[in-house]
Structures are given as structure tokens and as C-alpha cells.
Structure 1
Amino acid sequence: MSGTSEGPTPAADLIRPAVTDSNQQASRRTNGEVSDPLRSAFVSAPLAMAVVDREGLVVTANDALADLLGAGPGELEGRVAADLVDLASDARTWHAYRELLRGREARLRCTRRLKQPEGHSVWVQVTVSPLPEGTDGVLLAAADISARRELQARLRHLQMHDPVTRLANRTLFFERLSAALDVEAYEHGGTGRIGLCYLDLDGFKAVNDTLGHRVGDRLLAAVADRLTRCAGEAGYGRASAPLVARLGGDEFALLVEDSTGTEQLADLAESVLTALQAPFDLAGQRLSLSASIGVVERQAAGTTATGLMQAADTTLYWAKTDGKSRWTLFDPERNAHRMTRQALASTLRQAIDRGEFTLEYQPLVGMANGRLSGVEALVRWNHPQFGMLTPNRFIGLAEEDGAIVPLGRWVLATACRQARRWQLEHPDEPPIFVSVNVAVRQVWDSDLVEDVAEILAETGLEPHLLQLELTESAVMGSAGRPLQALQALSEMGVRIAIDDFGTGYSNLAYLSRLPVSVLKLDGSFVRGFQYEDSGAHPNPADEVIVEAMIELAHRLGLTVTAECVETSAQAGRLRRIGCDTGQGWLYSRPVSPDRISELLECPSDQAGQAGQVVGNA
């Protein structure tokens, strides 16, 4: 026997003329050659195919492939197969194809867009697979999938576009946004920045509610046309125009890729506002509207789609609250303040339970004798992250979400308990009263009268040693339940004071009918008393106004406390015109309960000076 072995059949054998000798046919079938019926099927098959040898050259191609590529009969033989169907356009496909030619891969499949000699293109799905075992070469097949791709493109367009405005919808917008934020996209050029105008139509809901959704849809479509024109004008002379999208309802976005800075976004926002100012004529309806726009522009690197949209939404909210019909640029500092407010609001109620609040007390000093007659309780929040916070940082938040009710109850109970403790610790001194601020929401959302009665009974503090302060705007318009609560508290013996008097309604006729015993003059009046020690000239009008208010209060049987007393000259002037009590840094800053105890231990005729010492200690 011979030691030689029979190798694979050359791919060229697949295209040899048909052999009539039956012995030769049988021999070729034994050697792995393709029979004539199989060759006939290959030539006439509707699927475009070619036999490619191990060198990557076309051995033979059927008519379907020639027609698909716009070639004549026999023109494809000897051509490089990879060039015909663009297999070398990406590294992964090219590597897989070369491995398959070496016999190391089972199958390759990819999609390619091929340009025909006439100029139009076709989409094909290319499959490359080995020939039957024992046969040298591979089989390349190309199926025309242009119709399928066109249908897919139509379906994707419907899926990615809003049916009312025909703009990009939310899905396409975020797809483009994510691609724009891909840092690798900027390695080959571009500014590496991104900008967004996020707008909302002012008062659009009223259009839907009064004229119907059909008119509303027409208005949205008309707005979309104007936004598209603005985007086209903004993109003139640039690589691309901003993407205009409808994100839902009456919210739209203009995405600027490769933005050049805030000035470009500001110009775009201004052009949008101008474009929307002109009235809309819709089927006999002439409508006018405006928009509020949030503008964000920043580096793409380090920015996420979620972060960008949150910034844009926040800025849009600012534009709305600032008065609408305007654009507002994102301000990191303003946003940090908003985030702080949100952080405080979300933890405020828990902070009460955790005991994070504390009270400081500011002395109220008699103007005539300088004696400590009372203190005002001022709440502080010892926040674990932001440190010691004054009331202006959190009282407004507490009033908004109702946390002022439990917080106010805690302040009231703590202040009354401390006032009673001072009284017991200094039995030889006249007891001092404690003044506590009360928000009007405490009157509406809780039974303030019952709370006060229970706390006074629990602490043993006499009612006349408790003073409740309400702002002028809250007290002057009191009616119904608030007025009834004030009257009940007054009848109980609790003193009622109007805080910041002179800055609110100042309804003096109504004042005489309220159960009020104290007026606290707003500090703006006292600050106008600038005398010799400041080197400035006094304003006579301030003194005339203050003197008139003090005289009026005295005629109504009320006492007067002046806030923000900072100099001895101010105190002397207030004393001469009859003011009863002073409060301010001249006497003391807000201090701990222990410092108030030190004041109570001083002789009465030195209490005013002692207060000043305590305040500066």
C-alpha cells in the first residue's frame, strides 16, 4: 500500500463541467466533489453566494450575487471576497473571517451596507461558513435585508418620536444624551462640553382645560415648529443643530452637543423666548403663551444624564418661582443651598426625637432700672453635619411641613421648665418671665391652649411668667380659631406679645380689640437711632415714629419692648421717650441658662451692666 493520503478537494472542483461517465461521477462523489445537481442549485439559487478559496479569492459566484453587487457574469471570479462585502471594515469581523479561512471558526455572520454602481445602497446580511468536510474553501452568502431594515427604521422612528409634535421623544432624547456624555466620543475632536435648555410652557394646562386637548395638541405642534426653527438657526455654520425633543406634557428640551459655553446656551434660550412671544393662530383661536427655561452648561466628563437632568429641573423651577417667562442659568451655590434645605427638611422631625435642639436665652432689660425682667427663648439646632444652626435656617422649613408643631411644643415645655428652675434657684429675687415664639400654624394644627395649660401645670410655672410672641402679620389678621385661642390664653393669664411690630399690617384700629399686652418694636426702627457714639447724624423722623407708637401703646394699656438695642446712646434715647423694655447686644447676646443664672445673682441696680458683661464674655 502507498503511504500517501488524499487531501481535501480543491474548491475549483465545484465548478467543473458535468461529467457523464457514471464511474467518474461515482469517483468524484467519493472524493467529496459536488454533484451536478448541487452545482445547478448553486448557480440558480436566489440567495447570493460565492465559493471562496483559502486565500480569500472568489472561485465562483452565482448570478444572484452578481446582480446584488451590480456586476456582470463572470466579473467576480478572482476578486478579493472581503472587499466585495466590506469584511475588513472592523477589526473583530476581519479577525473572525481570517480565522475561518484558516479553518478555525465555524461560522461568521455580520450586516453590511453595500453601495451599488448606480449609486444606491443595499443592506445585506453576510454569512461565511466552511464547505462540507473534505472540501477546501468557504461558502459566502449575502441576503438582501434592505426591506427589513427599512421597516425596522420606520418602526424605530415611530418608537423614538412623539406622535403629536413629531419631535424626538423622551427615549431618543436620553439615548442621544447618553451618547453625548460618552467621554470616548471626544477623543477625536469636539469641545467636550454639553448644554441643555429645559423648558416648560407657562399656563398650558389652562389651554387644555378651557379649549380642549385637540387645541392643546395643535398648540404643542406649533411650539415644536418654532423650537425646531430656533434650533436650525442656532446650528447654522456648526457641525450639527441642537436636538429638539418633547419629554412629555408641555415639557421640551434642546440638547446642544459640543457646546462652546454658557453664552451659546443663553443666546439659544433667549431666541426661544422671543420665538414664543408671537401669538399662535390655531383654527380661529388666537393664543399667547410664554415659557420658563432652565439652562445648564458644563463639561461632559464627570456628568451623568441623571445629574444633568436634575440640575436642569432645578433651574427650571427657579425660573418658574422667579416670575416665569424667563430663562435661568444653573447656579451651583444656589443649588447647594437648596440641597442643604432639603437635607435639613428630611431630618428635622427625627432631630427632635434625637434631642439635637437646644435653647439659648436673650435678656429683656427694664429701661428705667436696668433690671433683668425676662428672657426670650431662642431655639438652636446642633446639627451633626452643619453645626449650630440659628432659627432662620430651619423654622421656615418646620412651618412648611408641620414639624413646627412638635418642635414648638418642645420649645415651650423646655423654656417653661427652665423659667421655673430659675425661680426655685433664686427665691429671693423677683421671678423673671420667659418669652416663647409661636408660629401661626401651631394655632391651626394643634390645640395650643391645651398644650400651654398642660405645660404650665406640669412645670408649676405661673401663667403671668409666660409670654407668647406672634408676628404682627399673624396676629393682625386673626379671626376664628386663632383669635379664640389668643383670647383663651389671655384669660388664662398668659401674656401675648406682637413681635416685629411696625413691619406688617399695622391695623391700629384692630389692635385695640386684640388680647395683646406687649408690642415689640421691629429692630429697623431702633437701628435708625444712630447718635454721637457712631459719628452719624440722627434721623428725626425715626424718633417721631417710635415715640408716637410708644405713646399709642401706652394709651391702649400695652407695654413696649425695643429690639436690637446695640449702643448706650440708643438705650438712653429710648428711655427718654418712654420705652419700657430693651433687648439687644448692648445687654447680652443669646446665652446659655447658666449665664442667665449669673445675671440673677447680680444686684438689681447692676443687672443691666452685668447683662452687657455676660453678652461680651
Structure 2
Amino acid sequence: MLWPAAYRSAFAAAPLAMAVVDGEGRIVDANDALGVLLGVADAGPAGRVAAELLDLASDPRTWHAYREVLRGRQAKLRCTRRLKLPDGRSLWAQVTVSPLDGGTPGAVLLSVADVSAHRDLQARLRHLQMHDPVTRLPNRTLFFERVSAALETEVYEQSGTGRIGLCYLDLDGFKAVNDTLGHRVGDLLLAAVADRLTECAEEAGRTRPSVPLVARLGGDEFALLVEDSTGTEQLADLAESVLKALQAPIDLAGHRLNVSASIGVVERHAAGTTATGLMQAADTTLYWAKVDGKDRWTLFDPERNAHLMTRQALASTLRPAIERGEFRLDYQPLVGMSDGRLRGVEALVRWDHPRFGLLSPNRFVALAEEDGSIVPLGRWVLATACRQARQWQTDNPDYPPLFVSVNVAVRQVWDSDLVADVAEILAETGLAPHLLQLELTESAVMGSAGRPLQALQALSDMGVGIAIDDFGTGYSNLAYLSRLPVSVLKLDGSFVRGFQYEGAGAPPNPADQVVVEAMIALAHRLGLTVTAECVETSAQATRLRSIGCDTGQGWLYSRPVPPDRISELLGTESGTESGTESGSETYAVGNP
């Protein structure tokens, strides 16, 4: 190559490794620095193919760009390659290729810089960035990178089983260690747990193609990622080994600590799964393990999760649904056992949900109690039921007025002025206080003290009836009833169902009748009336009547029905002289 002597001297003496490459890709000239850097000083790089010497052809994109520069179609190429040297060492080299302005037509200048130290520093910094300093495990950032990469590999390369598994665990009671022994001991405990988890992963990896990734996600939360999993059995075995490994006491800083964990296990096809979806499922399942008693693993259950999602959807729309008027009341008759006449009704709320259809109270009342929306909902139920009872009374002046029974949650007493609400609603609707009965569960009433008891007493003094619902399932302390303003016991349906005949002509268990008869007798001695729930057969009604039960409620008489069906029955009964014959259970308002 014909260069001025000054340029030639500078080229030869430059510390930067350089070479001139012709249009065919061969090195026509190189300085000594290039031969020294690449370990070919003795043989000399001149005449060799540059792409082979610098591994430019192994990467299709780099190889294409390099050829474009040689052909004059691209101005410049800069890339980083890891080179294997003849003596076995390796280095990271930054390769720059650009056309020469003068000299041999079509030639390019190639320069090579050793960036190994820079790459090593980057790697160390990335390791610090991607690993937890306490446990030295991969942290949340690296964990999610690995999850995303694993899902992409399984979906697009379709290698292995195409499945992925995750054990997501949380230490039980770790906060107590931090609070009592300090964060230093807490950190030592986390490190010891990390070691045991790593041992479990390595043991599991001995019989599998890969070792599960162990990561600390933050706090006392850890994860074990199983790529290319073989099914739920593999994940269950891993979770069991973790629980067993954590059972042995851990000696730290003069303290012997016992630790356990709750583990959420998820195993599924990678196709259609995202990192976020996988973690949401794992987090939900971990919560189930905690709720189910801790120190256990729980497998993700799609049906249970669907129920939970539905529950959350209902909870989030409860209050707006009240404002939109999506609730309605059905009424179930309460019938006198002595004469079969309709005495009152129980108001039962339903939610006419635009997505899930008609929902019974057991689907949403507990949610309403949790978030406090039971207060506005309960107020609406109370007002609607009282208004309807007054309407029946106005429309059927010849029939004895029906009382209406409304369920009340204890939270309504604590979070609102129930006494004031009842007084206001009775005044607005014109319903007499004795025609309103409020039902509370046995556990709520029996444990009443302070404000709830004062409210119940004030309502009773007002003339409102107080009933204990599902009596017999809780405290069953009849002596305590004498100190409560209660007027009615609603006998739980489990007692009535015990009256069923076991076979044709075979008598029922006499113990059931003895218990019920004793409760009714004691209730009457205390001045209380008794209503039997879940009356389904004439035989049950006959036996309840024979032992003195006052009122019956159940499918023998009617299922809960809309208010117009109650109006029809009142019109029918008020048109007869004596109503249904004594002891007869032949009519039904709704199909049983």
C-alpha cells in the first residue's frame, strides 16, 4: 500500500490494533498491535481472512453489515465480539470497520480494541444489580427476566415439555423475629433459608435437565422457578422438600429458631401464560396456603380462583348496585302451626346482577358486612319491607295485619344508628312497631353487650320484635335469654330435618324430638314464641304442632316469592270465613 512515510510510521506505531482489508475481505496490512492483541504476532495477520480472525461470520446480522461495508453500501460497522485466542484465553473486542478515504480502492480500515475490562465491570455491576445482597440470590428483577425468557422459549421454540412451574413461598412469623431479635438476626435467618432452598433446588436438579432457579423477591418472600416442568407432581415434590428442609431448627447468633413456610404452587402450560399472570396465580395460591393454616403448600385451583374473582367483582360493585336499584325483596310466609293461617313473612333480599344473574343473600351479604355496604343495603331492605307490609295492610283491611321479619347484621348496629333508622322508617311508612320483627343470628345476640344490647333494648321498648335466627347452632344458652330483649326463637332447620322418617313406616330418632320439645317448653316458660325453619313435609308440621311449636316456615308452605304472590294469598284467605282448616298444610304460595 502506497502511503506517505509519516502515515505509514503512525500506522505501524499506533497502540490501537489496526489492519487494512481489501474488497475480498483479506488483510493486506496490519500493525504489530493487532498481532499482539490477537496472539498471532509470530505468524502475522497479513493475508488472513479478517472475518475468520475476528469471528464476524457467526452472527448473521454482523456478517451482513460487514459485507455491506466491504461493498461500499454501508458507511461503518461497529460490533463487539468475544474472541478465543490461540493460547486458550478469551477477550471481548470492539471491532470497527470503515472505508478508507485514500489508498487502495475498495479497501477498509479495521480497528480492534480490547474492552474485556469494561465488560467485566459491566458484568459485576449487573450482578450487583440483579442479586440480593443479603442472600446472594437472584432478586425480583432477574427473576422476572428469567420467567419472561422461559415463557418465550417454551412458546416459540416449543422445546421440552412446554410447561412451567413455580413455588412461591413466604416465611410464617418472620416479622416476629425481626421485631424481637432485630434485623441483623432476621437477615441471618433469610440467608440460612436461602441456603436451604438452594440445596433443595440442587437436589431436585440432579434428576432433571435443569436446576430450579431460587430467588428472593423481597422481604421474606422466595420463589423457585422450574423451567420445562414435567407436571404438578414435580412441583409438589419440590414444595414438600422445601417444607421438610425448613423443619430443622436454625442456630443463629446464640438463638435457636424454628421457621416454617406457606407455599403457593402453580404449574401450567407456558402457552397463553404471562409472567404477570403466573405471579398473580402464585400469589393467590400462597394466600390460600396462609388461610388454610400455614406451614403447608397449596396447589392453584382454577375453580377456586374463579370463585374468588367473582367474589372480588361482586365486592367492587356492591355499593354502586345499591344506588342503581339492582336489589329486590322476596317474602317467605310464616304460618301459624295451630290453624295454618298466614301470620307474617320474612323479607329476603336478592341481587339482580346484570352479569351473574339473580343472586341469593349467601353470595353477597358477607361481602357487604366486610366493606360496610351492609349499612345502606340494610336500610333499604328495612324501608322496602316496612313499606310493603303497610301496603298489604291497606289492601287487605279484613285480614289481620301481617308482621314482616327483617334480617339485621351486627355491623348495622355498630356502624349506624339502627334505633333512629327504625323509628324514622316506621314513621314514614305508617307501620305499627309490633308488625316489625328484626332477626339476628344466635352468636350475635348471645354475645351482645354495650351498644348492641342497648340498641336491642331500645327497639324492644319501642314495640319492635326481636328474633334469634338459626337458634340451636351456637351458644344455645336459654338462661341467658332471660336477660335479653328477645321475643322469638327461630329453631334452626337442622333440628327439623332430624324429624325425617328413615324409611317407610320407621320412626325418626326420638332424641331429636326430645331436644326440640325441651327447647320449645323452656322458651315458652321464658315467654318466648318459637318458629321452626325448613318445614318441608306434613309429617314434620304435625309433629312440631304436637310439641307446641308456634309458627312454621319452609317449602311445605312456600318458597320465597314476590310480593304480589303474598297479596294473592291474602285476598284468597280474607275471602273465606275461617281460612285454612286447623292442622291442614294443603296450600302453597309457591311451588315447593
CA distance in 1: counterparts of 2:413 and 2:313, whole angstroms: 27
Q: 2:286 aligns with which of 316, 330, 337?
A: 316
**1:22 equivalent in structure 2:** none
CA distance in 1: counterparts of 2:504 and 2:382, whole angstroms: 38
Q: 2:199 aligns with which of 199, 215, 229?
A: 229
**2:212 equivalent in structure 1:** 242
Structure 1 contact 130–139 (Cα < 8 Å) conserved: yes
Q: 1:600 aligns with which of 567, 570, 580?
A: 570
**2:230 equivalent in structure 1:** 260
**1:6 equivalent in structure 2:** none
Structure 1 contact 362–591 (Cα < 8 Å) conserved: yes
CA displacement 1:550-582 (0-9 Å, x = unmatched): 000000000000000000000000000000000
Structure 1 contact 204–250 (Cα < 8 Å) conserved: yes
Structure 2 contact 3–103 (Cα < 8 Å) conserved: no
Q: 1:84 aligns with which of 53, 78, 99?
A: 53
**1:390 equivalent in structure 2:** 360
Matches within 5 A, 1:37-436: 37-133=6-102, 135-136=104-105, 137-183=107-153, 186-187=156-157, 189-436=159-406
Structure 2 contact 155–271 (Cα < 8 Å) conserved: no
Structure 1 contact 532–569 (Cα < 8 Å) conserved: no
The farther-off stretch of 335-344 and 592-601 is 592-601
Is 2:461 aligned against 1:491? yes
Secondary structure at the aligned position of 1:182 is classed as: helix
Secondary structure at the aligned position of 1:165 is classed as: coil
Secondary structure at the aligned position of 2:159 is classed as: coil
Cα offset, 1:416, TM superposition: 0.1
CA distance in 2: counterparts of 1:535 and 1:325, whole angstroms: 51
CA distance in 1: counterparts of 2:188 and 2:96, whole angstroms: 49
CA 1:188–1:475: 2 relative to 1, 3 Å: closer
Q: 1:506 aligns with which of 467, 470, 476?
A: 476
CA distance in 2: counterparts of 1:274 and 1:531, whole angstroms: 51
CA 1:403–1:161: 2 relative to 1, 3 Å: same
CA distance in 1: counterparts of 2:233 and 2:472, whole angstroms: 45
**2:534 equivalent in structure 1:** 564
CA distance in 2: counterparts of 1:69 and 1:298, whole angstroms: 49
Cα offset, 1:43, TM superposition: 1.4
CA distance in 2: counterparts of 1:375 and 1:568, whole angstroms: 20
Question: Unmatched 5+ residue regions in structure 1?
Answer: 1-12, 14-32
Cα offset, 1:184, TM superposition: 6.6
Secondary structure at the aligned position of 2:428 is classed as: helix
What is the letter of the counterpart of residue 588 of structure 1? Answer: S
Cα offset, 1:188, TM superposition: 6.0
CA distance in 1: counterparts of 2:42 and 2:73, whole angstroms: 32
Secondary structure at the aligned position of 1:88 is classed as: coil
Is 2:3 aligned against 1:34? yes
Structure 1 contact 360–379 (Cα < 8 Å) conserved: yes
* Aligned residues between the structures: 586
Structure 1 contact 319–326 (Cα < 8 Å) conserved: yes
Cα offset, 1:612, TM superposition: 3.7
What is the letter of the counterpart of residue 147 of structure 1? Answer: A
CA distance in 1: counterparts of 2:520 and 2:30, whole angstroms: 110
CA 1:417–1:261: 2 relative to 1, 3 Å: same
Matches within 5 A, 1:528-607: 528-531=498-501, 537-603=507-573, 604-606=578-580
CA distance in 1: counterparts of 2:348 and 2:383, whole angstroms: 13
Secondary structure at the aligned position of 1:147 is classed as: helix
What is the letter of the counterpart of residue 547 of structure 2? Answer: I
CA 1:487–1:188: 2 relative to 1, 3 Å: closer
CA distance in 1: counterparts of 2:503 and 2:167, whole angstroms: 55
Cα offset, 1:90, TM superposition: 1.5
Cα offset, 1:50, TM superposition: 1.1
CA distance in 1: counterparts of 2:504 and 2:411, whole angstroms: 41
CA 1:396–1:144: 2 relative to 1, 3 Å: same
Structure 1 contact 588–611 (Cα < 8 Å) conserved: no
Cα offset, 1:494, TM superposition: 0.3
Secondary structure at the aligned position of 1:606 is classed as: coil
Structure 2 contact 487–529 (Cα < 8 Å) conserved: yes
CA distance in 1: counterparts of 2:253 and 2:287, whole angstroms: 32
Identical amino acids, percent of aligned pairs: 81
What is the letter of the counterpart of residue 199 of structure 1? Answer: L
The structure with the largest alpha-carbon Rg is 1
Cα offset, 1:238, TM superposition: 2.8
The farther-off stretch of 227-236 and 407-416 is 227-236
Secondary structure at the aligned position of 1:296 is classed as: strand
CA 1:394–1:183: 2 relative to 1, 3 Å: same
Cα offset, 1:73, TM superposition: 3.7
CA distance in 2: counterparts of 1:548 and 1:497, whole angstroms: 19
Secondary structure at the aligned position of 1:615 is classed as: coil
CA displacement 1:437-462 (0-9 Å, x = unmatched): 00000001000000000000000000
Compute the TM-score of the two structures, normalised by the length of structure 2: 0.97
CA distance in 1: counterparts of 2:587 and 2:169, whole angstroms: 55
Cα offset, 1:528, TM superposition: 0.3
What is the letter of the counterpart of residue 41 of structure 2? Answer: G
**1:29 equivalent in structure 2:** none
Structure 1 contact 371–606 (Cα < 8 Å) conserved: yes
**1:23 equivalent in structure 2:** none
Question: Unmatched 5+ residue regions in structure 2?
Answer: none
Cα offset, 1:176, TM superposition: 0.8
Cα offset, 1:99, TM superposition: 1.0
Cα offset, 1:205, TM superposition: 0.1
CA distance in 2: counterparts of 1:569 and 1:494, whole angstroms: 33
What is the letter of the counterpart of residue 293 of structure 2? Answer: G
Structure 1 contact 183–301 (Cα < 8 Å) conserved: no
CA displacement 1:392-417 (0-9 Å, x = unmatched): 00000000010000000000000000
Compute the TM-score of the two structures, normalised by the length of structure 1: 0.93
